[in-house]
Amino acid sequence: MRRILNLLKKDVLLGIKDVFILLEIIFSVVIVLIILFLIPQNIDSEETVFIYDRSGVINRFTDRFGSQNIEMDNELFVDSRQEIIDGMKENKTALGVIITANDDRTFHVELLTQPYTSETMTEYLEVNLEDLFSIFTGTYPPDVYRSVRVTALQENIRDEIPFNKQLLPAIMLMMVGMVGLFAMISVTGQEHSEATIRAFRVSPASMTEFLLSKHLMLLGVSLITFSILYIPVIGLSGYFQGLLIILLTVILGSSIGIILSAFFDSPMSSVGWVLILMLVFSLPAVSLFAPVFSPGWLRLIPSYHTLFGLDAAMFPDNNAQIIWQSAGLLAGIDIVLLFFSTWIFRLRIQREL
Amino acid sequence: MIKVNNLFYSYTKHGDPAVNDISFDIKKGEIFGFLGPSGAGKSTTQAVLSGLLKLQKGSIIIDGIPREGTPGKAFFNRIGVGFERPNVYKKLSGYDNLKFHASLYDRETEDPMKVLEMVGLADEAKKKAGAYSKGMMQRLGFARSMINKPDIWFLDEPTMGLDPNTANSIKGIIRKKQKEKTTIFLTTHNMFVADELCDRVGFIVDGKIVAVDSPKNLKLKHGKAVVNIEYSDGNVLRSKRFEMNGKSKAEMQKFIGEHDVKTIHSGEPTLEEIFIQLTGRGLE
């Protein structure tokens, strides 16, 4: 125990002097500020369109057929070009349309876009406008739209949770959970590159103690960064459940980090594997944001359980069993990985001079 | 104290072994030098003896107890290992490095400050090891290896890269530890260090031991005493070397009578010359 504490003290001291711990804390503070103050609580994915209809065609159409035949949830009618410009300045995702009637009973449509509006979006709007004018001019019946209306399943189910908070499980996974992977490769890589691991190997301390101390240091850092991210955004509701899930994920990540560092001498030489793993571990986030997409194979990725466990802890909705299921699964994987990573690291290191 | 029989170690399954069937013994309180060129098998032998590498074939008996498998805590508590390359945490101070290593042992350890004083780093104790010069880091690594007051001390090229003054103080520490009955296994390719420090030396080439004896005996057995004469040849100072045997002795006496001799020096062969003579190889 005394030896582990001394090892831990050394690892924490190195973590502080390497600025790793400080950077982790600073990043967490920055991320939490971004979540709270920069990412909006509600995001409407459909852009607002300001319409200045100088021709009066839309009014004439709605007077004749009724407004229910044309859905205009995000359109705002204004009375001047300047109002469009002012509106677009205020709403950075808004667009503008000015409709003018020509003498030959055709229409001139001017589309006002933001400087960063994509070409694809512009083309999409052009097609929509063409479509709209074919309705106004009676080239095809407006009823056709009612017959193809689709209602997505589970739509609006998460609407009551602010958008910025919905992002937190995915951010936690990458910012806290996966830090174990990077950091473990980095700290063991440093012991390799400074050859301090050789000096350690001829001391009475064991390799298990060596690795355990690093696990503990990373768990400590994760506890701090998790708290910085969680408490200001969510509060204390589900804090301990969320912490359990994240710490189990950190152990998983750092165990994989140990396996990689057993095969690669430096963090740079294992960077390809790290990127592949990060990509794989981030895939389940798709399922979290679009629950319709949840194939069986996605559940085989451990981070799936981290994401859904964290989500359940943060946003309780009679779903406590998800937390415990996720924790149980992650704990099971951790036990196997802890033993395997220690064994493989010891085996590989014994062959090194 | 240490008895090694038929030690064998190979890094690959079918390649040439790094250490091939070597046997030797080291007495308690002795400084035993292992000499050979780079890649001869010195460091591998040291790594197997110190427990860094697993024993593949052969036997190692320490204090009458044969080693089985990987050595345990009791063994690591008793040994100190100084590596050729300094193994220090560059972000920690010299003092913190030693304090940390001392905390790993279950026996009484040296005071880190005292050890730093011994190696001339007391004034730099609080400085980050990363800011040390190469020689200072080497000394810190050396200090680390003796922090646990080892009974058996393995040293790999302990004076390499050090200036003559520092090298002398390191040699002084090694001699002091020998007087305190520490058994020292020293690997080097520096014959002067070996000649100066070692009670006995073993010559190793291509993983095999060629000779084991004291430096003096090796020189007596395999070397030839010589006399160097400097003489004046017109305005030029020249030198000639004579071996101290019967025929050559007579030639030398005749030469002295016929030439304007300026200096006469007797000389003994160096350990390096003996090494080259016995192995047919240089030490670099």
**What single string gives the DSSP state of each residue in A100-161?**
EE-TTS-EEEEEE--TT--HHHHHHHHHHHHHHHHHHTTSS-GGGGGGG----TTTTTTTTS
How far apart are alpha carbons B197 and B56 in whole angstroms?
31
* Alpha-carbon gap: B31 to the closest alpha carbon of chain A (Å): 20
A13 CB-near residues (< 8 Å, 6+ apart): B91, B92, B96
Torsion of CA A188, A193, A194, A198, to 10 degrees: 70
| Chain A interface mutation, best of B13, B98, B103, highest count of A Cβ atoms under 10 Å | B103
Nearest chain B Cα to A202, which residue?
B76
* Alpha-carbon gap: B58 to the closest alpha carbon of chain A (Å): 18
> Two tokens at A122?
């512009």
pLDDT tens digit sequence for B231-244 = 998 889 999 888 87
| pLDDT score recorded for residue A215 | 95
Nearest chain B Cα to A14, which residue?
B91
Mean pLDDT of the B179-187 span:
93
B43 chain-A contacts, CB cut-off 8 A: 353
Check whether A23 has a pLDDT greater than 90. no
* pLDDT category of residue A156 using cuts at 50, 70 and 90: very low
> Two tokens at A198?
């050789």
Pairing of strands B183-188, B31-35: parallel
Phi, psi of A86 (to 5 degrees): -60, -45
- The strand pairing partners of B60, in sequence order, are B4
How far apart are alpha carbons B214 and B277 in whole angstroms?
16
* Alpha-carbon gap: A174 to the closest alpha carbon of chain B (Å): 28
A11 chain-B contacts, CB cut-off 8 A: none
| pLDDT score recorded for residue A147 | 44
Check whether A148 has a pLDDT greater than 90. no
| pLDDT score recorded for residue B84 | 85
* pLDDT category of residue A72 using cuts at 50, 70 and 90: low
Count of CB pairs separated by less than 8 Å, A with B: 73
Exposed e or buried b per residue across A113-123, where buried means at least 16 C-beta atoms within 10 angstroms of its C-beta = bbeeeeeeeee
| pLDDT score recorded for residue B186 | 93
Interface contact flag, B104 A2, Cβ < 8 Å: no
* pLDDT category of residue A154 using cuts at 50, 70 and 90: very low
Interface contact flag, A205 B81, Cβ < 8 Å: no
Q: Show which of residues 170-229 on chain A sit within 8 Å of chain B, judged by CB atoms.
A: 194-196, 198-205
| pLDDT score recorded for residue B100 | 95
* pLDDT category of residue B178 using cuts at 50, 70 and 90: very high
| pLDDT score recorded for residue A155 | 44
| pLDDT score recorded for residue A45 | 55
Question: Apex CA B57: angle with CA B56 and CA B59, to 5°?
Answer: 110
SS3 track for B57-114: EEEEEECCEECCCCCCHHHHHHEEEECCCCCCCCCCEHHHHHHHHHCCCCCCCCCHHH
* Alpha-carbon gap: A259 to the closest alpha carbon of chain B (Å): 20
Interface contact flag, B104 A194, Cβ < 8 Å: no
* pLDDT category of residue B283 using cuts at 50, 70 and 90: low
Check whether A179 has a pLDDT greater than 70. yes
Task: Kindly state whether B219 is in contact with chain A, defined as any CB-CB distance less than 8 angstroms.
Answer: no
Torsion of CA B69, B75, B77, B81, to 10 degrees: -80
- Residue in B83, B88, B91 nearest the CB of A14: B91
What value of ipTM does the predicted structure carry?
0.85
Task: Kindly state whether B106 is in contact with chain A, defined as any CB-CB distance less than 8 angstroms.
Answer: yes
The residue with greater pLDDT, B74 or B283, is B74
| pLDDT score recorded for residue A160 | 67
**Other beta carbons less than 10 A from residue B126's beta carbon:** 9
A196 chain-B contacts, CB cut-off 8 A: 87-89
B11 chain-A contacts, CB cut-off 8 A: 351
Check whether A39 has a pLDDT greater than 90. no
| pLDDT score recorded for residue A119 | 72
How far apart are alpha carbons A258 and A212 in whole angstroms?
11
* pLDDT category of residue B32 using cuts at 50, 70 and 90: very high
Mean pLDDT of the B113-126 span:
93
A351 chain-B contacts, CB cut-off 8 A: 11, 53
Check whether A286 has a pLDDT greater than 70. yes
Nearest chain A Cα to B83, which residue?
A199
Across all residues in chain A, what is the average pLDDT? 83
| pLDDT score recorded for residue A67 | 56
Task: Kindly state whether A2 is in contact with chain B, defined as any CB-CB distance less than 8 angstroms.
Answer: yes
Check whether B55 has a pLDDT greater than 70. yes
Mean pLDDT of the A337-350 span:
92
Torsion of CA A344, A346, A352, B2, to 10 degrees: -150
How far apart are alpha carbons B83 and B268 in whole angstroms?
32
Of the candidates A179, A243, A241, the one whose C-alpha atom is nearest the C-alpha of residue A215 is A179
A192 chain-B contacts, CB cut-off 8 A: none
Interface contact flag, A204 B85, Cβ < 8 Å: no
- Residue in A13, A196, A350 nearest the CB of B87: A196
* pLDDT category of residue A332 using cuts at 50, 70 and 90: very high
Q: Judge whether B209 and B21 are in contact, CB under 8 Å.
A: no
Nearest chain A Cα to B144, which residue?
A199
Mean pLDDT of the B54-61 span:
91
Task: Kindly state whether B248 is in contact with chain A, defined as any CB-CB distance less than 8 angstroms.
Answer: no
Nearest chain B Cα to A203, which residue?
B76
Q: Show which of residues 9-48 on chain B sit within 8 Å of chain A, judged by CB atoms.
A: 11, 43-44, 47
| pLDDT score recorded for residue A44 | 56
Mean pLDDT of the A252-268 span:
89
Check whether A146 has a pLDDT greater than 50. no
User: Which amino acid belongs to residue B17?
Assistant: P
